[in-house]
Structures are given as structure tokens and as C-alpha cells.
Structure 1
Amino acid sequence: MAKLIAGHQVRKVRRQAGLSQAAMAEQLGISASYLNLIERNQRPLTAQLLVRLTELYDFDPRALNAAAPGGGGDAIRRRLGDPMFADLEIDRTELEEWLAAAPGGAEAFARAYDRIGGGAAATAAGDDPLAAVRREVERWRNHFPDLDAAAEALADELRLSAGDLYAAIAERLRVKHSLTIRVLPVEVLPDALRRLDLHARQLQLSEMLDPASRTFQAAFQLGAIEARAEIDALVKGAGLAERAAERLYRRHLTSYFAAALMMPYARFLRACEATGYEVELLQRRFGAGYEQVAHRLTTLQRVGARGLPFFMIRIDRAGQASKRYAGASGAVLVEAEGRCPLWRLHNAFDRPGRIERDLVELQSGERWFTLARTVHPQGARAGQVSAEFVVGLGLTADLAGSLALARGLDLTGAATPIGLGCRSCTRPQCPQRSAPPAGRALLFNDRERGLSAFSFVED
């Protein structure tokens, strides 16, 4: 954090304190003209000034990420990727100038866009608790330092009491919270994987859970008790309008803590770097599931100890996304409502349990290295519907060279050309196209048939 562009946040602090630029500059020990340049994002906020802001105005440095208008430049850029804005050709420089000159306007645009459901969606974001929670998670880039610190301290304490994490959690629940863990037959818990019976002082777990899931559920319960203060503070700070959104957000935060307890930050990051982020090896080392490790990889953004910026998405066979975390990656692949069938993410369904690698290139020129593998949620019995999803992980191609799973792949070579769904993609003559791009006039030639069923104005 030696240099940080944070003009909007500094201006907000000054206005909340009721100070003119000259008055605040005098208190900070800088010139008014220099403060003016900082507020216009033409000068960085140095570490020394950040300390002074914290001392003088009770300013929380974590708000620098959280308070960015519209969620910051990457979030605004993802919104502007909507087909309705395709003809405007707003580049990164113009976007940065807009954020610097009119942060309030950028925030207003983001709220209006989200409220109408991303331009084309029928449900308003204000009525969708899932959308509200996703915005809050991405506002933090899916990294919650207070939860990580608390989970890491507790993990170190538990390691001293027992070598087996599940046994250590069970013992702590029993001794400190008077809760015993009881694994019950599926006939007793036919429709549940975890149940807290306060009358019997039992945490009841289904026998259908595998060891990794059993540990996670026990860690979830311990986190709900021992990290309650940290979770309460985050939920309160989110200011979510609906009770349903609060409950969903609390569940996400408790799950985050459980994963951080199973995969403590510093130890997990060291293992990632030592193994080349080899997901299946990390599974075995930390006794976790594939999806648990994949999600954890999106959270490694501790200041001074950052991991690689992965994104994660989980889809079903219909291409519907049930989980998606952009984290610090800024990946438009996560935010897009549609997905390109040319992306090998979908191919993983045909090869259960095997990791599919792909190098893809978007129309913008962005190149991503992605991994995909099937996962199966716990709990299905013979004769019942068994759910199946594909979990996709991605990283910009220029950062993927250190990955164990990228070995032998030319990351600068040919990549699969993909879009963000047919309605958003303007690649001409795509044989896989199922719909014309939004906002482009169709062309017809009765004497010719191209590779695609749709021809359209390209410029």
C-alpha cells in the first residue's frame, strides 16, 4: 500500500469532517493544491498520508476498497460490457477519468444498472437477495481479513490440542460449548446434512457426508459461535435491506470462516506457492473438497501476502451459474449472464472427475487460462436425483505460467476464441451461434449462406 489512488474516498472523508481543502491540507501537513490533485486521482495517497488520515479522522483503511464508486473500475467495466453499451466504445482511460471526475455519477449509474437487473434481466436487483449478497461479497473481493485472522488463530490453537482437525473441533465444541457431535443414519436425517439440536445439545451430522464435508460442517458450527462478533460486524456494515439477504450473507461469511479454519491463510498460501496451486494435491494436504479448495483460491488477497487472483464459477448442465466469485481477478467471464459453448468449461460434464484445461481469448483480447472439473454435492442415495455441477477456475494467461496444471501448455499460443454468450458476442461467422448479438442490425442475402445462421452489421 505504498501508493494508492483513492481520491473519491479522501474527498468523502473531508466532506464528512466538514472541512475545506485548505483546512484539511493544513491538518495533513500538505499543500491545498496537492490535496486537490489527490482528490482528482492525479496523485497517489501515500502510506504516510494514509496513516495521518487514520489518526486524525478515525478512518478505516479497509474502506478504501469497499467504498469505491460502483464497486471500483473493474466492476463498472463489467457493467459497461453489456451489449447495450457496445457502440459507445468506452476505453479504460475514459472510464478512469469518469471515476475521478464524477464518482457520484458512476455510483448512480451502477445503482440504476443493478436495479433494472443488469439491463436485460426481468428481476430487479433490489428484489433479489442473491444479487445483493453477491454485490457485497465482490465489494470485499471475497476477502474478509478479520475472519481470516480469527480463523487462523483458532486453527493454530486447535493444532496444539490434536493432530486431526475434525477431532479437535469436536472436542472444542464439547468442552467449551457443551455441544457433542453425533453422526446419524440417513433414515434419521433423510432430508438434512446438518442439524443443530439445542435441546439435546447435539450437532447432528448425516452419515452421507464424506470426511471433508463432515469437517466443514463441524467448522461451520464452531464459526457460527466463536466468530459471531466478526460476522455480526460485517453483516451490520453491509446495510442489506432485506432479512433474506442478511441471512444469506451470514451463511456465506460463516462458510468463509469454516474454509479458513480448514485452510489457514498463511499455511495454505505457502502450500499453493510450493505446489504450483495444484488443486487436487491441496485437497489431500488440507483434507478438503475440490470445490472448497477452488473457493479458497479466490480469497487470497491479504495485504502483503497476496496469492494469484483466481475467479471461480459453478454451473449446471444448462449453463446456469449457482456460484460465482470474481475476487480480485476482475473477470467478465464471471459476471456475464451467458456463457460461450466453445469454452471447455462445459466439456467437463463429459469427463467426470477429470480436470479440463483451456486457454481462451475474449473479443477484448483478454486471455484466460481456465480449469474445470465436475463436483457432486453430498447426500444423494441410490435411486434419487444426484446433482452434478462443474466448478471452473480461471486466471489471466500472463499469470498462469507458475501453475502446475499449465505445464506443457503454450500460454502465448493459439487460444479458443469465446464470447460472453451469443447475445453479447459480436464475432462474425461463428458456427456455434444460436442467436444474433443484441443491438446489431441483421443482414439478409438469399443467394448466400454463411457459416453462421445470422449475419449482422459488424461495425
Structure 2
Amino acid sequence: MPDTLLLAGPAIRRLRKREGLTQSAMAAQLGISPSYLNLVERNQRPLSARLLVRLAEAYDFDPRSLRQDEAVGGIDGLRRRLADARFADLAIDRDEIAEWLSAAPQAAIAFARLFDASGGGGLAAADEPMELVRREIERWRNHFPDLDSAAEAMADELRLSNADTGAALAERLRQKHQIAVRILPVEVMPDALRRLDLHARQLQLSELLDTSSRNFQIALQLALLEQRDEITALANGAQFSDRAAWRLFRRHLTAYFAAAVLMPYGRFIRACEATGYDLPILQRRFGVGFEQLAHRLTTLQRVGQRGLPFFMARVDRAGQFSKRYAGASGTALLDSDTGCPLWVAHRAFERAGQLCVQLASFVEPSGAESFWLTIARTVEGSGAPGGQGPRFVVALGIDAGLAGTLAQARGVSFEAPHAVPIGPGCAGCHRKDCGQRSLPPRGAALAFDERSRGLTPFTIAD
């Protein structure tokens, strides 16, 4: 077993004290020297995989407790909390945060809990089901390799039996599960888009669903029937105490598998690379909707076959995020509950059905400026007849430094002066002289001058 670096001194010290052992006694039981154990406890030596196995064999403990930093989102999770305006004068950098997590992880967790419980500067409360699920998805970087492999195997079988994805999915459902697919008029299914009728052995789908949505719903039903145990095991592994969070995460995993069947990993990543991630071409080639495609692009983290690290968000007209997946992008742009009105995701509502592209500059919690190529488009939800369904904007984003070869980047200037400056919503944004500002920054000191009027009604004091 190869050794892996893990500094977990405080956790080992707590374990030793729980067992009532001296360093010499524990070292003897583990077959190491007391001086080496002392260095491990002081984070001057890493905890190797070999020593981790010995600890697991000798004591009753959960190895995951050695990585308690995951409970707060690691260094990035603490960095985002400490970016709150209340701590702006402290200038805490990433290295200090790393040292804090390493030396006193429980103190860091206590801080994170208090910060989140107090409202967290506009962040969602940490114990809300949606936020619990979002943190778990981000912990996995929205990539679930076992589900991907199983979906790829199913897709290969379907491709051999029938070139028409929808017909192949329906045929598998019929042959393997004795369930037929039936499309019903809206007056028969006024309040549902999908319904499994086990008495009639039918998967009933509303006529409101377009072809890509019908295929997705059939794949979703196959996931529920054929991957139930794997999905349930993953959901149980998250150890949610909140049942609603467990069900939401399970629903996400089910949809993940369905999308992976429609866009099997190997074929999909090759198509992305061959087309320069051309979004309309990928939609047509795999017969999926824009939102389905955007979801899939955030999941491409297979070892040895990684795709570009996109983030994805779904926004309503009020600027609220109903979905947000940072994936492997590392962006803090999605940390607020609402987005900047200058971001293309909000302006795309004015150009329904069109791809809107923008180079945006964003000030990270560290104070550094980052640049992102963002692509947004409206999507119509399946809902009421007569075109009265809900409308959202789905936005994709990627670090501008990685975006130069993308099909949708053609003609876009990547020069910094051409970037649109955006922020994390007005209450969390400290950019000065923004004419779009509707609220003062939370925690910022304001300056007032009765003799003049600036570009914004709220002037931030120097």
C-alpha cells in the first residue's frame, strides 16, 4: 500500500487521550517509536497509509474522523466564511487557514458552525437540506465514478441493441422489467410529468415532455430499478441526519445516473474534445437538453480522462440560484445565494433561447481578481400547457485561462479591460463605483457627502 501524506496530529492526540494511553504506550501498540508518534501528533510528520491501517486495526475509530476538515468544506470552505466583511481587516491568508485546520480542526469546525448558524453573511444555513446536499456533492466534486461506470455499461448495451436512444431505453424497460412506456395527454396527467403505475405495468409520461426529457425520464426510471442499491449506499454514506437531505441527495444521484446513460463518459468526453466543447453540437449529438448538458459538463473528473472544470448554475428572474455546482472549478462565484445583475446569467432572460457569452472578472475572497468565461441560455421548464411553463437561465462557467479553445469562445476578447466586473450579489460585493448597486455592502463603512452625488447611492468609505 503506498504511503500518502496526511497531517492529522490533533486527531491522533484525541484518540490517544480517549484510550487513556501515554505516547510510549500507544507507540508500543502501533509498533513505532515514541519520538515518531510525538512528531506525528505535532504535525511534523505525516500519517502514512500504513500507520492509518495499524490505527484502524488497534482501535475502534472511524478513519474519516481524521479528515474533519471536510465537514467545513476544507480550506476553501473556511476561506469563504472568512471572506465576510466582518473579518476584512484581519487579512487572513490561505496559509494561515491551512495551519488552523491542521493544528486545531475542531476549533475550525466550531467557528464554521457558529458562522453558519448566525446566518453566515447571507449564506444558506448549514443545516438546511439543500445546503447539506450541495456540500456533499461538492465534496465528491460532482463525480461518482461507480455510477458512471455502470451507466456506461448500460449505454453500451443499449447502443448494440438499438441506435435510437429513446426506443432502446423503452425496450430495456419492457424486456427487463415488463414495464411499457405510454405517453398520456395533459388532461389525463394535469399535475405530473412522470408516473409509474405498477398495477398497469406502465411508465406514464406527459405529452408536455419533449423528446430529450422523455428519454431522461425513462433513464431515470431505469436508474431507480437497476441502481437502487448503489444509489442508496452512496446516500447512506453521506450520513445525513436530515431525512429530506438524504432524499434530495438520492434524487441527485438518480438523475446523475440517468444523464450518464444518455451521455456515457468515454463517448461524451471524446466528443467534447473533438468539437471544442461546442454546446449546440453536443446537444444534437446526444439528444439532450441544454440543462442536461450543463449538468454533465460539471462531472467530468474521471482519473486519467478528466474534462475541463466547468461550473454550472440555474437562476430564476429574481436572481435566486435553484441549482449550483462548482464541480472542480474552485470558483467562489456561486457562494452567494443570489448573483450579480451584471452577470450574463441575468441578462440572458432578454434573449430567450440564445447562447449569451461573457468574459467576467470576479474578486475572490482572497482579494485576487479572477476571470471567467460564462455561457448562459434560457431553458423552459415542462409545466402548464399553452407555453406557461417556468423559465430559468442555465449558466456554465470556466476559468478564462482554460477557455481559449472552446467553440463558444471564438470572437471573444480575453483582454482584462474587456471583462465585465461582477460580484457575489450587492450585499456581499465591495466593488466601488458600480452604477447597478442596489444595496450597500454588508459590514462596510459608508461615506456621505451632502455636497455631491456619486455614480451609486452608496459610497464605500476608504
Shift of 1:204: 0.4
SS across alignment from 1:332: coil
Q: Which residue of 2 aligns with 1:221?
A: 221
Deviations 1:304-326 (A, max 9, x none): 22211111111011101111111
Q: Which amino acid aligns with 1:456?
A: I
Q: Which residue of 1 aligns with 2:444?
A: 440
Moved more, 226-235 or 95-104: 95-104
Structure 2 gaps of 5+ residues are none
Distance 1:183 1:60, change over 3 A: farther
> Alignment length, in residue pairs?
452
Taking the aligned partners of 2:400 and 2:85, their CA distance within structure 1 comes to: 25
Contact 1:14 1:24 in 2 (8 A): no
Distance 1:140 1:289, change over 3 A: same
Q: Which residue of 2 aligns with 1:119?
A: 121
Contact 1:179 1:203 in 2 (8 A): yes
Taking the aligned partners of 2:359 and 2:146, their CA distance within structure 1 comes to: 35
Taking the aligned partners of 1:174 and 1:391, their CA distance within structure 2 comes to: 34
Coordinate RMSD, CA, aligned = 3.2
User: Quick one: which of 74, 98, 108 aligns to 1:72?
Assistant: 74
Taking the aligned partners of 2:78 and 2:271, their CA distance within structure 1 comes to: 34
Q: Which amino acid aligns with 2:356?
A: E
Q: Which residue of 2 aligns with 1:177?
A: 177
Matched, 1:394 2:381: no
Taking the aligned partners of 2:278 and 2:443, their CA distance within structure 1 comes to: 42
Distance 1:418 1:335, change over 3 A: same
Distance 1:171 1:369, change over 3 A: same
Contact 1:314 1:324 in 2 (8 A): yes
Shift of 1:327: 1.2
Shift of 1:206: 1.0
Taking the aligned partners of 1:70 and 1:40, their CA distance within structure 2 comes to: 22
Matched, 1:199 2:193: no
User: Quick one: which of 413, 418, 421 aligns to 1:417?
Assistant: 421
Structure 1 gaps of 5+ residues are none
Matched, 1:406 2:409: yes
User: Quick one: which of 365, 371, 377 aligns to 1:367?
Assistant: 371
Distance 1:12 1:54, change over 3 A: same
SS across alignment from 2:426: coil
Moved more, 264-273 or 249-258: 264-273
Structure 2 matches for 1:53-72, cutoff 5 A?
Answer: 53=52, 57=56, 68-72=70-74
SS across alignment from 2:183: strand
Taking the aligned partners of 2:440 and 2:239, their CA distance within structure 1 comes to: 40
Taking the aligned partners of 2:293 and 2:327, their CA distance within structure 1 comes to: 14
Taking the aligned partners of 2:244 and 2:377, their CA distance within structure 1 comes to: 31
Percent identical among aligned pairs is 59
Q: Which amino acid aligns with 2:388?
A: V
Q: Which amino acid aligns with 1:194?
A: R
Shift of 1:252: 0.9
Contact 2:298 2:309 in 1 (8 A): yes
Q: Which residue of 2 aligns with 1:342?
A: 342
Distance 1:260 1:99, change over 3 A: same
Contact 1:130 1:248 in 2 (8 A): yes
SS across alignment from 1:436: coil
Matched, 1:260 2:260: yes
If the length of structure 1 is used for normalisation, what is the TM-score? 0.88
Q: Which residue of 2 aligns with 1:212?
A: 212
If the length of structure 2 is used for normalisation, what is the TM-score? 0.87
Contact 1:69 1:106 in 2 (8 A): no
Q: Which amino acid aligns with 1:417?
A: P
Q: Which amino acid aligns with 2:70?
A: A
Taking the aligned partners of 1:51 and 1:332, their CA distance within structure 2 comes to: 36
Taking the aligned partners of 2:394 and 2:154, their CA distance within structure 1 comes to: 29
Q: Which residue of 1 aligns with 2:384?
A: 380
Shift of 1:155: 1.5
Deviations 1:18-42 (A, max 9, x none): 7988899899998877777777777
Contact 1:54 1:61 in 2 (8 A): no
Shift of 1:388: 0.9
Taking the aligned partners of 2:65 and 2:354, their CA distance within structure 1 comes to: 41
Shift of 1:290: 0.5
SS across alignment from 1:362: strand
User: Quick one: which of 80, 91, 106 aligns to 1:89?
Assistant: 91
